[in-house]
Structure 1
Amino acid sequence: MTVTRRPPWLLGTVVGYRRSWILRDVIAGLSAGAVVIPQAMAYATIANLPVQVGLYTCILPMLVYAFLGGSRAMSVSTTSTIATLTATTLVTAGVAAGAEDAMGSLMMLTLLVGAILLIARLCRLGSLVENISGATVLGLKIGVGATVAVGQLPKLLGESDDFSGHGFLASLGAVAQAFGSANGPTIALSAGSIAVILVLKRFAPKVPGTLVVVVGGILLVGLAGIDRLGVDLIAPVPSGLPVPGIPDFGQTVALVPGALAIAVMAFLESAAVARSLRVATEPQIDSDQELFATGAANTVGAFFGTMPAAGGFSQSAVNQSAGARSQVATLVTVVLAVLVALFLGPVLSLLPEATLAAMVFVAVAGLINIPELVRWARISRVDFWIASSVAVLGLTAGLLPAVAVGVVVTLILVLREVNIPKATIVGADGGVLGIRLDRGLYTANALANERMLLETVAAQGAPVRALVLGLTQQEVMTITVLDALEDLDRELSQLGVVLHLAAVPASAKVVAERTPWFAGLESAGRVHGTLREGITAAESAIDAGMQSLHQGEVDDAP
């Protein structure tokens, strides 16, 4: 009998599943759905998209992640940061809200985000992306929070437009104009909704405040008719499930910069949420698996008109606190979202815009974490200035330039750190100097390491006859590195020093053996399995050379 084995990347969170967990997962899925469904609908309005787009983002991306993801409790839909970057990207690309090509461009954007994440997975860039500093993320979130919070103020006052995608300064101008036509009942509804969410969050955190204000807003329209007082409602919500479509490839080039920024933030948010929710008894979170799962969720969702998706902290935290033991809880949330899409469209159409704006306002206000910025100022001035600069840039030049600059600055700092040579001297006796490189050589640090090695040889008090170089960390060998090592061999030879290599990993050795220089080193017995073997061989070679020289002097004596 042939047993079909499950691929390790499929349904990893249900390994060892127990029947006793089913009830917990069902309760957790319903609890998370009560938060994520209205929240995702509200986030869709940040990008001036129909609320059903946010609802659809609670179906396909969640379903795909449930099968491929590695976090047991993470809930994947859209987030305030992703929604804001989506709005900014569409505006920057010249896609007008409500235009016929808006959905086609959104599908293309989501597809690009998914493709970028999948390409990053193929290149195993999970650990590289995670090098983006916390300072960059904090600065960006402050910029996002301030931009979106100000962008919601016109809706809270009774205007129907959302200026979040146009940037912080444009949103401020819209607020000034909105004061002249503010609607009293809308302001009262907005203030009441914000108060309810904050009070429940403070005194009854297990009660989903977003669901309460959504139900309350719908009841006020349906029973009290507050829409007749000038309170604007959302656009009618069609009943039914998302249908597949074709992205608009005409906007591809204009959408690429924004897609890159969204992909970076989607992965960073998802990885951060997954790690924060992991308990000690669960497997470690694999960065590359998260890239694959998040990329696949966006790629599949793109063809059904969803927004770019990422792990959201608030609904994931609700999921975990309600007792979620696996992604079965997410499947319950998906079923709930499907039922809402099929049967509650007419009911959702009674929802006031101000209610959704209040939900967004409260959610993004928490991103403006000034106390954390002050704490960083006391601990690390470098991190403080990076976060502050990214935040200011996001508020003035825009969020996409802020992401780009933050990523570039972070990578510069990372490269500066990894390019500093690190080595350990493991022996310096009998004319033999043993050095182990603690970082692998690559294009950017090869020359710096070569100079460091030559300076170390020159700094020894006693003459050095042989240098044994340990390359334990050199898993990847490139032509640039081989050229640098050959150049080091030549320079040492001019100083009368013989170069030996030791502990070269097999993967690097296979590449190196294709060059005549390395092959010559091997044939001369100057490549060794371990650093200790190399030092012993070098000492023996020096002793043999000394004996040969001494014998020659004896033979030449009269």
Structure 2
Amino acid sequence: DMEEKDLQSVEYFVKREVLDELCLDEVAQKETWSTKLTLGDQVKECSVPRLKHILLTWVPVLSWLPRYSIRENALGDLISGCSVGIMHLPQGMAYALLASLRPVYGLYTSLFPVLVYFIFGTSRHISIGTFAVISIMVGSVTERLAPDSNFIVNGTNGTETVDIDKRDAYRVQVACSLTVLTGIFQILLGVVRFGFVVTYLSEPLIRGYTTGSACHVCVSQLKYLFGITPSRFTGPLSLIYTVLDICSLLPQTQVPELVVSLVALAVLIVVKEINDCYRQKLPLPIPIELVVVIAATIITHFCELPSKYNIDVVGEIPSGLKAPRAPDTTFFSGVIGDAFAVAIVGFAINISLSKTFGLKYGYKVDSNQELVALGLSNTIGGFFHCYSVTSSLSRSLVQESTGGKTQVAGVISSIIVLITVLKIGPLFEDLPKAVLSTIVFVNLKGMFKQFMDVSLLWKTNKVDLLVWLVTFISTIVLNLDLGLAVSVAFSMLTFIFRTQLPRYSILGNLPGTELYLDTDTYKEAKEIPGIKIFRSSATIYYTNAEMFLEVLQEKVCGCIGKLLSAKKKRDAKQKLSQNLYVDFSMTETATDGLHKGQMNLAYEPDITMSDSDSATGSDHITEFSRHGDEEKKRACKSGTHSIILDISTTSFVDTVTVKTLKNIFRDFGEVDLDIYLAACVVEQLEAADFFSASIPKSRLFITVHDAVLYIRKKQWKAYFVLVGHHQYLSHF
């Protein structure tokens, strides 16, 4: 603490001229140039090194793979890849159920997109593949466009049944079309360098949305845990209706299914807690998900649980890979909105994880390239019967903690999945779906922990809390697609309100410094007599420009219209007597906290000589009288003659801002109040043709203190001129 105080006790002194924007341009030798290159310049920039740089940017694997160190990275990537590959198997099959697809398509999704990301991705640690939130978003589309009711056929005994094979094949076409369109959106956004779009999805919005999505995931898996068949609901409130329907069906619970679910759930929870508690001591986390899947498959097969207890199992898993197939473009019009939502949510989850690992290990993650990489993973994957992918937190943490250094670990995990698809897949045909559901439940633990955000945001930022709650509730009530749209709209609305209702303040000088602080917040900050310094806490633009003007008038001089009317009356009276009055004081008390030797120079145009006091040859002190104009008293509060607008918080100006500032210069100038700007966006004002003969560039200063010093010097000069003129008149 003493060392910190010693460092803070350093004083500094600055001696320079007062700088307005014209002086600054001259002193700093400002250059003007165009950021737009001509066609000839662009052609000149085309060269082999330039093309090589572009190629390495678009295909990052070419830049890091040739420098891959086998000695430093190979062992860690091998162990990590095997661990993640083992996780891909149960998670891929489980999350495929969320997408309303057969488990084998989850394995495809864990294979091809990972290889594409290996080539085009920039993150070294994330694991691309299936993810619960994206899976449930895909599932909502496949079930909406391919409901069971569309595939009902007459059975052999006269009953109606669902043609499951035809339904599942149709759902795969829907999912692949959705995935390809999602990838196209992501590629286009990446090519036009639109990676910043994710910044509009704030962290409270993302966490609220994923928490709401986790509730959808949880409800969708209850039917497997209890062995029941609830009705299919769509549209707003569908989640509520589904929960009510499940509750009504609880008396029909299949006890064997429930027992299998509870046993698997208990084992998974206990072992995962052991993994968390002994993470530092265990060389590798126990692959309990794979162990449970293998054990459940063996027990189910040899105990003949499907035939004896009607346990619902995965069913046929074809071995080998399917030939690639182009998506059915006729589905595009029906899924375009869903595709864009999946594209944005998938990218938001992916980039947040990528940035986290990038900051931790000190490498750069290119958000635009991540968009392209994720888009190519989805687009190419859609041709190979995959559904939409993003990064998974649980697998990424395992990839990092087990020593993974590069995306070579992803290739190794893909090899594990490939071997399973080619040779081992059919062995999992007797795996109970209830076990896969428990895997989904356990992996939702991290998302449900996000409910703790409510108490944290209540203490830190209630607006962010409101965004979180609105996002969560809208996701629950309106479903995933409409919920996301409402959430983004509400988040943007809070941003607008925050900028539309900023804090306005009058600044005062902290004696002995060049600092200017809010006089309502800091008691020691003293206003400069005759000068009002006004600041807005937010950028001035079209939504708050009118309020900025209203508050400025209120805090500085009241209604401009009344002031103009009062000025016209005074001007008429001043035609009879053109005299000036100067009120000044050399005492420290009269200047309200200014340093000794400073002067209060206030020009009051409403104060004129009485007609009976016309100049004579006597040396008596000339008497002045004031017109009792109440509007004028409000006009020049404390003898205000200058107003400084501190617009350092304004990062951009629009046409409304320019018009508002011009009106301020004009209206306040008509009531003899000088306007000055400090710390403004000069280039944009120049582009908007803001400057003119009535608003010269010399009215702009680089700091508030520069403007104050300029005004005080100007008043000193005016004072000496007027005193000299008065002494000249007193000789007559």
Match of 2:362 in 1: 282
Q: Does 1:85 align with 2:156?
A: no
Aligned amino acid, residue 418 of structure 1:
T
CA distance in 2: counterparts of 1:445 and 1:289, whole angstroms: 36
Q: Which residue is equivalent to 1:307?
A: 387
CA–CA separation in structure 2 for the residues paired with 1:440 and 1:92: 44
The answer to whether residue 698 in structure 2 is matched with residue 525 in structure 1 is yes
How far did residue 531 of structure 1 move?
5.0
Residue from 190, 210, 219 that aligns with 2:289? 210
Counterpart-to-counterpart distance in 2, 1:132 and 1:192 = 36
Of 400, 417, 438, the match for 2:498: 417
CA contact (8 A) 1:25 1:323 kept: yes
1:170 and 2:207 are equivalent in the alignment: no
| Deviation sequence 1:259-305 (CA, Å, 0-9, x none) | 44434432443344335545644146565555554445434434444
2:60 is the counterpart of 1:11: yes
Query: How far did 1:170 drift?
Result: 1.9
The structure that is helix-richer by fraction is 1
Residues 525 and 169 (structure 1 numbering): CA distance in 2 closer, same or farther, change over 3 Å? same
Query: Do residues 298 (structure 1) and 367 (structure 2) align?
Result: no
SS at match of 1:270: helix
Displacement of 1:323:
1.3
User: Aligned runs of 1:94-109 on 2, under 5 Å?
Assistant: 98=167, 101-109=170-178
Q: 1:447 aligns with which of 546, 560, 572?
A: 546
1:340 aligns with 2:340: no
Structure 1 residue 207: Cα displacement: 1.2
Segment of structure 1 superposing worse, 54-63 or 448-457: 448-457
CA contact (8 A) 2:106 2:130 kept: yes
CA 1:58–1:162 in structure 2 vs 1: closer, same or farther (change >3 Å)? farther
Deviates more, 1:147-156 or 1:471-480: 471-480
Structure showing greater relative contact order (alpha-carbon pairs closer than 8 Å, 6 or more residues apart) = 1
**Structure 1 residues 36-45 or 92-101, which shifts more?**
92-101
Say which of 141, 150, 160 aligns to 2:219: 150
Asked if the contact 2:645/2:675 (under 8 Å) is kept, the reply is yes
Q: Which blocks of at least 5 consecutive residues in structure 2 are unaligned?
A: 1-46, 149-163, 277-284, 508-514, 517-526, 559-635
The one-letter code sitting in structure 2 at the alignment partner of 1:448 is M
- Name the aligned partner's letter for residue 173 of structure 1: D
**Equivalent position of 1:48 in the other structure:** 100
1:403 aligns with 484
1:219: which partner in 2?
298
1:314 CA displacement: 0.8
Percent of aligned positions that are identical: 22
Aligned residue type for 1:49: L
Which of 108-117 and 323-332 deviates more?
108-117
Match of 1:491 in 2: 667
**How much has 1:325 moved relative to structure 2?**
1.8
For residue 11 of structure 1, report the CA deviation from its aligned partner: 3.1
Query: What one-letter code is carried by the residue in structure 2 that aligns with 1:412?
Result: L
CA distance in 2, matches of 1:352, 1:47: 17
**CA 1:200 to 1:257, structure 2 compared with 1: closer, same or farther past 3 Å?**
same
The CA deviation at 1:198 is 1.9
- Taking the TM superposition and a 5 Å limit, the aligned residue runs for 1:23-42 are 23-42=75-94
Instruction: Report the secondary structure of 2:448's partner residue.
Output: coil
The CA deviation at 1:552 is 8.1
Q: Which moved more, 1:224-233 or 1:327-336?
A: 224-233
CA contact (8 A) 2:474 2:487 kept: no
Greater shift in the superposed pair: 117-126 or 40-49: 117-126
Q: Secondary structure at the match of 1:492?
A: helix
Q: Is the 8 A contact 1:132 1:410 kept in 2?
A: no
Which structure 1 segments of 5+ residues have no match? Answer: none
CA contact (8 A) 1:467 1:498 kept: yes
Once the two structures are superposed, what CA deviation does each residue of 1:488-530 show, in whole Å capped at 9, x if it has no partner? 333332343333344444xx61x43344433556756334555
Contact 2:146-2:171 within 8 A present in 1 as well: no
SS of residue matched to 1:368: helix
TM-score when scaled to structure 1?
0.82
Aligned residue in 2 for 1:513: 686
Q: 1:541 to 1:336 in 2, by over 3 A?
A: farther
1:499 partner SS: strand
The residue type paired with residue 210 of structure 1 is E
Q: Which moved further from structure 2: 63-72 or 52-61?
A: 63-72
Asked if the contact 1:200–1:209 (Cα under 8 Å) also holds between the matched residues in 2, the reply is: yes
| Counterpart AA for 1:415 | I
* CA separation of 1:486 and 1:375: change in aligned 2, threshold 3 A: same
Alignment partner of 1:500 out of 668, 676, 685: 676
In the alignment, which residue of structure 2 is the partner of 1:182? 254
Distance across 1 between alignment mates of 2:212 and 2:96: 19
Alignment of 1:254-293 (within 5 A): 254-278=334-358, 280-283=360-363, 290-293=370-373
Inter-CA distance 328–503: structure 2 relative to 1 (3 Å threshold): farther
Alpha carbons of 1:284 and 1:454: their partners in 2 closer, same or farther (altered >3 Å)? farther
CA displacement at 1:223 relative to structure 2: 4.5
Q: Which has the larger radius of gyration?
A: 2
Q: How far, CA to CA, are the matches of 1:293 and 1:193 in structure 2?
A: 36
Instruction: Tell me, yes or no, if structure 1 residue 359 matches structure 2 residue 439.
Output: yes
Q: Which amino acid aligns with 2:297?
A: I
**Letter of the structure 2 residue corresponding to residue 363 of structure 1:** N
Distance 1:349 1:124, change over 3 A: same
Q: Number of residues paired by the alignment?
A: 552
Residues 1:335 and 1:172: Cα distance change in structure 2 (over 3 Å): farther
* Aligned-residue CA RMSD (Å): 4.1
